[in-house]
Chains A and B, each alone.
Chain A
């Protein structure tokens, strides 16, 4: 049996949690909110495309961006590899474990059979750290699970090589080298600038504040593209799931970003960031209200034009609030 000495911690979100745990293991003291903020994790995008059976939205930057932005802004070099051949993918992972290198793996969440069954859904962008191997099982540290656990070798292989949208293709990564010195001030400011740019200025009509407004406009037309009231109800209730569940960090990641701003205020000795943190907490509360409103309306099949109009108004109000917020935040780090 091979078990690497590795500190397991739960986290708000799998990718930030996995990256943070690997950086901590390598000796870099950094928190999950700090990783999220420096990597400009906060985001909004509303999508209507043939890739999706129904319009959907995201509240964080795209999977993989956390690692890539941390690499750019902190100077951490990562080993990263995808595999066409599952056998090779398994062999490389086993070699890394035998060298005592904890390694992050991208997996289909459905196969994480230590999680309660009702939580397990097919999502191809879940991340776990593999920290050891027995004869028949891998030892894993999953930031959604309270303790280190095991996964059968065949099960992890299935999870790593699941097919479908954003298929993991056996993707593995771990930090190859950490810089001896890090300019956190610079990294924080760059992270905030990029997040503000993404929310306010990215010239794409369905991301950032523009994406929120599009969502607010189009949600009123969802009845026209739904098969029936059950389908509409399901999609409206999914708003709650996307904001609160399935690794979204709660309240659309807004609380996690608020915690980042609070920690950034201390690192930069910048009192005004503390106020921004409080404002972001309140924005998180407002998203949670939307989440609750949508869940309740969907459950009660209360989905007439008036109710969807109310939902639209709530989303528009968040767009107004976040527009002001990110404008003020961008000014602070000019």
Chain B
């Protein structure tokens, strides 16, 4: 795999991409266009500091504090900033609430728009052709593949992120969690539930994506 073939520009073997990205990075560093330490810090931010645990804290707070939930649904960016996850002007967020009558799910049919500050970078399936093509025309079929059977009389709302607004689903709080602390509740909330392709389950032990 060390043999680089210039006429196979779109070769997809990883070693090829490794070499090409390495070459570009060293060129950009040598030209003074990027600071390698800044690259490290950017990668570290999304690998270790930002992710669905942030969103889970927002959801748990909304579940235990009705006033916070109202603020979250009225002005999501501001309410999320209260928990320290984004600068007030940095994001334009909308939180949509699941209820027994309404199920919400989020997609970006045109690219990969996703609420980075609260969920981190999107998983591959969210950016994939199957999800992007089908979420708007067959939402119930997609949900079924995720193991979610939505009753025919429940309204399904699909949010296609076509502008700079970013959507987060506020899932339903599962029954039997009345005695749990805010931290314990946050541990139940999954990434998939906040995209709207899963319910939160009381039995789940948490920590999953």
- A and B assemble together: no
Chain B interface (Cβ < 8 Å from any Cβ of A): none
